A = this chain, B = another copy of it.
Amino acid sequence: MGKEKINFNLKTPKGTKDWSGSDALLRDRIFTTIADVFKRHGGTALDTPVFELREILAGKYGEDSKLIYDLQDQGGEICSLRYDLTVPFARWLAMNPDVRSMKRYHIAKVYRRDQPAVSKGRMREFYQCDFDVAGTFDPMVPDAEVLKIVTEVFEGLGWQGRYSIKINHRKILDGVFEVCGVPAEKIRPISSAVDKLDKMPWADVRKEMVEEKGLDGAVADKIETYVVKKGTRDLLETLLKDEALLANASAKAGLEDMGLLMDYLEAFGVLDRISFDMSLARGLDYYTGVIYEVVTEGSAPAVSSSAAEAEKPQKSSKKSKSKGGNADDDDRSNDPTLGVGSVAAGGRYDNLVGMFLPKAQIPCVGVSFGVDRIFSITKARLEREQSAQALRNSEVDVFVMAFGGKGFTGMLKERMNVCQTLWNAGIKAEFSYKVKPKLPQQFKAAEQGGVPFAVILGEDELAQGKVRVKEMGLEEGHPEKEGVLVDLATLPAEVNARLARRQDQASAVTQQLEGLNVGASTN
């Protein structure tokens, strides 16, 4: 062992990375926040294998199929790594015909052999967090709940007023194209071109339509009059007065859906988070109804003025609540979130399950959260706000240490015993693995770990059944600066009381800023 010459690359494969330390901890908290919302809405977990039979994935992703990772044929079945969580869910529904309806969530890694751009967060292995509702229900009710879930996730993450949900409807879009005179076979390519309006100006999109995709210039100009429209109820009302549109069956059905959806979003109290954006088209072929995409403040230059209006009251209320002095609220131009694109997206797909089992057609609607982007934005915000507490490596609350004069034994077993008491009470605790550690070393370890409390054992005090509880980093003059002597018997209660107090204080200061329950116990 260890004798042979080492001549290999010590690295992770291209487009993959290790997650460790405070990054892993922060990402776990984002997962917990998202999963808690999913569970609150009755979501049940589904976990599928990381690879599927290759034929299950075939024909689902169009030209992106070339990005699928294949397993080597080592004898037996031919398999590929999953490309998303939606197709495995549809496969599962087809395999379980007794399940006619389900709210499922799935938080797991997916794999795409894309050209990675690690700095932009485009990886070959990355996490998706999906929530989907399968089943035949009255129109737009589950669709509205999925959008309510989107608001709860981002507000749970502390993004109040910093995100916007763009929505549109495939049937409205298809109707618009028909009304404008787009030939049937050009509807999907023209739809793809429209979807680029958040990245390029209309002139460029028009050029693509006319020069690349051979659309009549007059038709393109007619399309423009529709797809630049943004709003909420006002836009819906405008469109409902458009007689040409109302005469189109597809557009009419879509507009009716959109009306219902807005009513329901209002009942859920989240209509003001929505922007009805007719330029939203979404890439994937399988959507059949409402579609949506969540953009953050910085990444959404095209958010309509009416949606911005709707958000204003919230933003100012947030401002007044955040702690004074920090003028961070106005540095939008420096916002590191700029340009990261969408952070969640989804829509209704009524025909996917039928690709596996035509008899078992089960309509679905869902959303997928892009955790890597959400992570980057949240981390940048915490760093800006210098929430150092949020960037700890572990969650340890107590460091158990000992000191003594001449002939000090190190009190290892005593430290172990006190740790045991804390652990058995559910308290997160550590101690030095040295038999005879020096006190400054132990304090340094606690400081480096950001551990908030020290429990200090001294021989004389311990002989009287007492130990010292000391909050780290207290200012000079604080009544507990030198720590407090407590009975061993009441140590867990004393520590828990101080942890709760500290947590309350931290919440009061950072609740609005952080959103995430960062630094708090996750129990």
The 4 closest A-B pairs by CB, nearest first: A137-B433, A16-B49, A267-B413, A267-B416
Q: Which of B2, B95, B355 has a CB less than 8 Å from the CB of A1? A: B355
Residue of B nearest to A37 (CB): B423
Interface residues of A in 87-112 (CB under 8 A from B): 91-92, 94-96, 103-104, 109, 111
Instruction: Assess whether A9 is in contact with B40, with CB atoms less than 8 Å apart.
Output: no
User: Counting CB contacts under 8 A, is A28 at the interface?
Assistant: yes
Contact partners of A133 in chain B: CB under 8 A:
433
CA distance A394 to B41 in the complex (A): 9
Stretch of A69-77, A162-170, A211-219, A336-344 contacting B (4+ beta carbons < 8 Å): A69-77
Q: Would A74 and B113 be within 8 Å (CB), given that A8-B55, A13-B79, A18-B47 are in contact?
A: yes
* Nearest residue, chain B, Cβ from A392: B44
| Interface residue A395 (Cβ < 8 Å from any Cβ of B) | yes
Question: With an 8 A cutoff between CB atoms, is A249 at the interface?
Answer: no
| A298 CB to nearest chain B CB (Å) | 27
Known A-B contacts A6-B356, A42-B428, A394-B39; the reply to A13 vs B53 at CB < 8 A is yes
Residues of the B chain whose Cβ atoms lie less than 8 Å from the Cβ of A420: 148, 267-269
A276 at the interface (CB under 8 A from B): no
Whether B28 lies near A45 (C-beta < 8 A) is yes
Q: Which residue of B lies closest to A415 (CB)?
A: B267
Bound-complex Cα distance A523 to B520 (A): 12
- Give 1 or 0 for each of A50-65: 1 = CB within 8 Å of chain B CB: 1111011001000000
Beyond A40-B429, A72-B73, whether A138 also contacts B264 by CB under 8 A is no
Name the distance in Å between A206's Cβ and chain B's nearest Cβ: 30
- In the complex the two chains form, is B268's CB within 8 Å of A416's CB? yes
Residues of B within 8 A of A50 (CB): 50, 81, 109, 111, 125
A274 to chain B, nearest CB (A): 15
Question: B53 to A24, Cβ gap below 8 A?
Answer: no
The reply to whether A2 and B430 form a contact with Cβ atoms under 8 Å apart is no
Is A447 an interface position by the 8 A CB rule?
no
Given A13-B49, A50-B125, A138 and B354 contact (CB-CB distance below 8 Å):
no
The one of B43, B51, B56, B430 in contact with A8, judged by C-beta atoms closer than 8 angstroms, is B56
Contact: B53 with A9, CB < 8 Å? yes
When the two chains form the complex, which single residue of B11, B41, B69 contacts A71, counting CB atoms closer than 8 Å? B69
Is there a chain B Cβ closer than 8 Å to A313's Cβ? no
Q: Nearest CB to that of A155 among chain B residues? A: B424
Indicate if the CB atoms of A13 and B51 lie closer than 8 Å.
yes
Most buried by B among A8, A45, A81, A361: A45
Report chain B residues within 8 Å CB of A394. 39, 42-44, 103
- Asked if residues B433 and A39 are in contact (CB atoms below 8 Å), the reply is no
A27 CA to B46 CA, complexed, in Å: 11
Residues in B with CB closer than 8 Å to A125 are 49-51
Given contacts A12-B49, A266-B413, 4 further A-B contacts (CB under 8 A): A16-B51, A18-B92, A42-B394, A138-B435
Chain B nearest CB: distance from A270 CB in Å? 8
A423 close to B152 (CB less than 8 A): yes
| Residues on the B chain within 8 Å of A81, using CB | 50, 71
A41 and B72 contacting across the interface, CB-CB below 8 Å: no
| 12 chain-A/chain-B pairs, Cβ below 8 angstroms | A10-B95, A11-B95, A16-B51, A18-B48, A20-B96, A42-B396, A50-B111, A71-B71, A148-B423, A267-B412, A267-B417, A268-B416
A507 to chain B, nearest CB (A): 15
A10/B91 in contact, CB under 8 A: yes
- In angstroms, how far is the closest chain B Cβ from the Cβ of A260? 10
Q: Min CB distance, A310 to chain B, in Å? A: 17
Query: Chain B residues near A433 (CB, 8 Å)?
Result: 133, 135, 137-138, 141-142, 145
Contact of A70 among B74, B92, B95 (CB under 8 A): B74
Q: How far is the CA of A510 from the CA of B335 in the complex (A)?
A: 51
Measured in the bound complex, the distance between the Cα atoms of B19 and A45 in whole Å is 8
Rounded to whole Å, the gap between the CB of A499 and the closest CB of chain B is: 13
Cβ of A358 under 8 Å from chain B: yes
Q: A10-B94, A434-B138 are in contact. Are A39 and B357 (CB under 8 A)?
A: no
A143 CB → nearest B CB, Å: 10
Within 8 A of B (CB), among A158-195: none
Check if A240 is an interface residue, CB within 8 A of chain B: no
Cβ-based interface call for A25 (8 A): yes
